[in-house]
Structure 1
């Protein structure tokens, strides 16, 4: 097996992996608030758990994508779940992925409405239109675009989180006392469960694109390194935002877009810049979600692909005219439960692969004797 590794590709794959997962929930701070900051000080330990799991998920998806050339959604799901169960799971996965696409559309409306005072419908329509035109470009263009944006978004997110934490006058000590008394919309089950559920739901988001990206790698090692690096950088972003949100929890816990409040405090100009960064984050998840659903029903470059993309975009836009915070609280945890089931099948597939390699190595000496 080749072990060719291009550092440029590793960084690009990591960026695309981050970009796919980052979305409106992360970039707005809403999902970090619900899965981490709202859980209290122990959420810091939770970010470590999330980083470990997310890095493993990225490495496995991209490595398996290369080793088994998993490009089509049907092949990806069948690889993990088998042919019979895979057909049912593919339908379930696409329902969840479509639900997350709807959240992205709603998030675009919430962001522009909060900062610029625009009608939420304007942001939703604009995001649906841009996503549609990007998707019809194909997977190669998607990887290039997302890979570049993902790294930019994570740098800005980490920066604003760290600055907000360091500049806070109250800090984490006050947050420990304040958080239990606040009416924060959060994931149920405590900090540890939330830190496991978070990468589990993200696995549903990234599975299709990650495997497809891994397919184009030069080697399994290059693919796995891209996924691992993406997971580490994403985890760093979660930790930075978690610290920033907790240190300012009293002022931002009720906001639909808490990171925008933090950015505006730094500078009105930076607030404008970060609102654009958030929209880019929403865009980088909206596009892969739409691509995944459409690719299930049609080949890229066909008239059928364009037509289905248009229909799915329109339906998603209609359903996206809903409360953003409520959608995050309902759809994300449900997706996480499906992701936990996926983890079990992923681990089993990886175990089978190691077992087959071990058997081949044992049999080779005997073959040489013959």
Structure 2
């Protein structure tokens, strides 16, 4: 394992684990709302993250891809790839809008400030960051991850051991009082992995393309995927253990932190802002890169306009946007998963055929 593998893993995790995950709202709607069986869903998603992350990173490294479009065209062909790229770009823009709404919810819940304040603050931070070069953006996103990891581990560990209701009661409350993205836990798990792969795909493809060692890129994808699975599992258990005290809350993990200590709640709010920031940067970067070359004046103008329009759209509310945009993006992501799986099967078949020819020749 080398430095490149670790950087890919951390960047992969940071882009996927944004405000929706860190706030607990994603996990609540995709896993916890199904009750105990939601734990099985987190395992399904974690394994999918590892496999898909490995394939995307390895493919882009072999191609030395400069853009996710190159990988898309390789998977789907030029015509269908273009269609998928356009649809994906606009859904990623929707995730960026959700992040701006999430920033507003953090400041409203923690500091009793108008949601617009948090949205405007995040808009300014994202616009400034997108004026930097690509490598600095990737370094910033990777640096945020250890901070959030420590916070999630502290809060979930405490929450798991401090539950105050029978498991049967918690299971009933989780299933009866929370909205889920689907009527079936397995479909919910597939949708979660699907939409997050769609979210992480553009940045993961770019990072993988910057790595000249396909094996190292693949290891980074696997590590990042497994790390995501562990974090989802821990947060899901922590939310489930306290689900009877989290009804109607926009930022469940922030509420859990407040139960431990007011100071920890403040620190967690800062961690949430950091993760909302990292995902917002990744999403608006991917969207703007679809229309302009990064680091050019046109790119900066496109980014500024896109983020400002996103601020206006974010006024629809965080939890409502999570429950609407993310499942729809999940269905789009299914096309990506099928194409990646087909590419993997085709690659293995070609390798076996080549090995058979070599064995026959010898």
TM-score by length of structure 2 reads: 0.96
**Residue 35 of structure 1 contacts residue 195 of structure 1 at CA under 8 Å; is this kept in 2?**
yes
Match among 211, 215, 225 for residue 217 of structure 1: 211
Gaps of 5+ in 2: none
Residue of structure 1 in register with 2:301 after alignment? 307
For 1:322-333, what aligned pairs fall within 5 Å after superposition? 322-333=316-327
d(CA) in 2 for partners of 1:233, 1:173: 29
d(CA) in 1 for partners of 2:104, 2:148: 19
d(CA) in 2 for partners of 1:247, 1:362: 54
Q: What is the Cα deviation at residue 195 of structure 1?
A: 1.0
Q: What is the Cα deviation at residue 363 of structure 1?
A: 4.3
Q: Which moved more, 1:137-146 or 1:196-205?
A: 137-146
Q: What is the Cα deviation at residue 102 of structure 1?
A: 0.5
**Cα offsets for 1:168-202 (capped at 9, x unmatched):** 122533312322332x1221222111111101000
**Cα offsets for 1:45-83 (capped at 9, x unmatched):** 111111100111111111111011222132122122111
Residue of structure 2 in register with 1:231 after alignment? 225
Residue of structure 2 in register with 1:12 after alignment? 7
Q: What is the Cα deviation at residue 364 of structure 1?
A: 4.6
Q: What is the root-mean-square deviation in Å for CA atoms of aligned residues?
A: 1.6
Residue of structure 2 in register with 1:137 after alignment? 132
Q: Does 1:189 align with 2:183?
A: yes
Q: Which moved more, 1:36-45 or 1:170-179?
A: 170-179
Q: What is the Cα deviation at residue 366 of structure 1?
A: 7.5
Q: What is the Cα deviation at residue 122 of structure 1?
A: 0.9
Residue of structure 1 in register with 2:149 after alignment? 154
d(CA) in 1 for partners of 2:234, 2:197: 21
Residue of structure 1 in register with 2:236 after alignment? 242
**Residue 158 of structure 1 contacts residue 236 of structure 1 at CA under 8 Å; is this kept in 2?**
no
Q: Does 1:108 align with 2:127?
A: no
d(CA) in 2 for partners of 1:209, 1:179: 34
Residue of structure 1 in register with 2:249 after alignment? 255
Q: SS of the residue aligned with 1:170?
A: coil
Q: Is the alpha carbon distance of 1:352 and 1:279 closer, same or farther for their aligned partners in structure 2, counting shifts above 3 Å?
A: same
**Residue 191 of structure 2 contacts residue 330 of structure 2 at CA under 8 Å; is this kept in 1?**
yes
Q: What is the Cα deviation at residue 353 of structure 1?
A: 2.3
d(CA) in 1 for partners of 2:356, 2:33: 52
Gaps of 5+ in 1: none
Q: Is the alpha carbon distance of 1:76 and 1:129 closer, same or farther for their aligned partners in structure 2, counting shifts above 3 Å?
A: farther
d(CA) in 2 for partners of 1:180, 1:42: 10
d(CA) in 2 for partners of 1:164, 1:42: 19
Q: SS of the residue aligned with 1:271?
A: helix
TM-score by length of structure 1 reads: 0.94
d(CA) in 2 for partners of 1:135, 1:199: 27
Residue of structure 1 in register with 2:202 after alignment? 208
Q: What is the Cα deviation at residue 262 of structure 1?
A: 0.3
**Cα offsets for 1:216-241 (capped at 9, x unmatched):** 22411111111111111111111111
Match among 299, 317, 323 for residue 311 of structure 2: 317
d(CA) in 1 for partners of 2:110, 2:24: 14
Q: What is the Cα deviation at residue 315 of structure 1?
A: 1.0
Q: What is the Cα deviation at residue 141 of structure 1?
A: 1.2
Q: Which moved more, 1:172-181 or 1:42-51?
A: 172-181
Match among 340, 343, 352 for residue 358 of structure 1: 352
Q: Does 1:337 align with 2:337?
A: no
**Residue 66 of structure 1 contacts residue 220 of structure 1 at CA under 8 Å; is this kept in 2?**
yes
Q: SS of the residue aligned with 2:315?
A: coil
d(CA) in 2 for partners of 1:171, 1:142: 46
**Cα offsets for 1:118-176 (capped at 9, x unmatched):** 11111111111111221221321122111121232123113211211111122533312
Residue of structure 1 in register with 2:56 after alignment? 61
**Residue 24 of structure 2 contacts residue 235 of structure 2 at CA under 8 Å; is this kept in 1?**
yes
d(CA) in 1 for partners of 2:208, 2:72: 15
